[in-house]
């Protein structure tokens, strides 16, 4: 199937382009970007121009930041094409609900992707936790924003999510592996005095079974970066680390099982999108974004030192 990429930045070049190139489901037919392009692929500055020149394009994968994404996604749906959304699926929950309803009315597929759920050991962790009672869950997501978003001031603007840009990856795994739903009870947001979005956050969740669940996100990490989820149950404990790539059960490392999980996170997303299109279905899980929205609603804001790239 022919697919187009809209928004040719770092994430598109690092992840989306290689995933499409290695897929037997997709052929990259065009790109849409104000400044970027992919060698050997027709490039355009607007969706309208691209659709006119390449009516064979069936799907558009949107890789731009969340704030402008709604207008692009709505245009794709109105053109009768399927749409794939990089995480987070939008700048607000309301616009995501509207896009979901638009896609259903138009009879096209829409897919809100969460790449961290495709990490190699997430499915194994979910299966292990399925029949166990939780006691404690701790999510730690600490990385260096200068490494992953060098000079990208938009991540600290209103709608840029700040530290929740990576933190939502941890929340996407949390909502996937826990056998019971959780909701936010309280949050503390640390916002640089010269920025609009938090550089760090601490969250506490409510669990119907009384488990203590918390998360800590920080974009100021120096040295070793941490992407871990530790879960203590009444029958043992697990530790997911490296963003879900590594799993320890009761301190013993679990070997990865051969299969799709070893293909990489983004190739799996594109395989899933192909299946959704062929089966005429959509997948729009908004739970991770809802938790982030609740953090902004409930969060106590604390001003911290200015931040500059």
What helix, strand, coil percent values describe the chain, rounded to 5? 35, 30, 35
Whole-angstrom distance, CA of residue 304 vs CA of residue 200: 10
Catalytic residue among 2, 10, 67, 87: 87
287-298 burial, b if ≥16 CB within 10 A, otherwise e?
ebbbbbbbbbee
Which residues, other chains included, contact 116 with Cβ-Cβ below 8 Å and sequence gap of 6+? 122, 169, 170, 172, 173, 243, 244, 265
CB atoms within 10 A of CB 300: 10
User: Are the C-beta atoms of residues 187 and 299 closer than 8 Å to each other?
Assistant: yes
Query: How far apart, in Å, are the Cα atoms of 103 and each of 75, 165, 197?
Result: 11, 25, 30
Burial class from Cβ neighbours inside 10 Å (0-12, 13-18, 19+) for residue 185 reads middle
Active site residue 87: yes
Q: 148: cis peptide before it, omega within 30°?
A: no
- Which secondary-structure segment (H or E) carries 277? helix 265-279
User: Are the C-beta atoms of residues 202 and 214 closer than 8 Å to each other?
Assistant: yes
User: Are the C-beta atoms of residues 243 and 114 closer than 8 Å to each other?
Assistant: no
The residues assigned a catalytic role are: 87
């Amino acid at each position: 199937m022919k697919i187009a990429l809209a928004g040719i930045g770092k994430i598109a070049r690092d992840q989306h382009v290689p995933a499409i190139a290695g897929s037997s489901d997709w052929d990259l037919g065009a790109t849409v970007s104000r400044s970027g392009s992919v060698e050997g692929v027709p490039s355009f500055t607007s969706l309208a121009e691209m659709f006119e020149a390449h009516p064979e394009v069936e799907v558009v994968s949107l890789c731009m930041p969340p704030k402008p994404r709604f207008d692009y996604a709505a245009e794709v749906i109105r053109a009768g094409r399927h749409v794939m959304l990089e995480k987070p699926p939008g700048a607000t929950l309301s616009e995501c609900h509207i896009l979901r309803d638009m896609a259903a009315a138009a009879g096209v597929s829409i897919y809100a992707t969460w790449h961290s759920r495709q990490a190699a050991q997430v499915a194994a962790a979910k299966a292990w936790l399925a029949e166990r009672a939780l006691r404690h869950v701790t999510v730690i997501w600490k990385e260096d924003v200068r490494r992953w978003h060098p000079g990208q001031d938009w991540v600290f603007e209103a709608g840029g999510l700040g530290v929740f840009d990576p933190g939502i990856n941890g929340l996407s795994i949390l909502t996937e592996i826990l056998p019971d739903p959780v909701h936010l009870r309280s949050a503390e947001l640390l916002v640089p005095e010269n920025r609009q979005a938090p550089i760090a956050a601490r969250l506490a969740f409510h669990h119907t079974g009384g488990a203590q669940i918390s998360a800590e996100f920080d974009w100021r990490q120096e040295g070793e970066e941490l992407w871990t989820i530790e879960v203590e149950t009444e029958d043992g404990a697990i530790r997911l680390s490296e963003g879900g790539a590594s799993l320890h059960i009761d301190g013993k490392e679990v070997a990865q099982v051969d299969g799709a999980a070893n293909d990489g996170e983004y190739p799996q997303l594109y395989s899933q999108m192909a299946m959704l299109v062929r089966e005429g279905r959509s997948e729009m899980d908004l739970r991770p974004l809802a938790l982030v929205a609740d953090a902004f609603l409930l969060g106590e804001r604390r001003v911290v030192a200015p931040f500059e790239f």
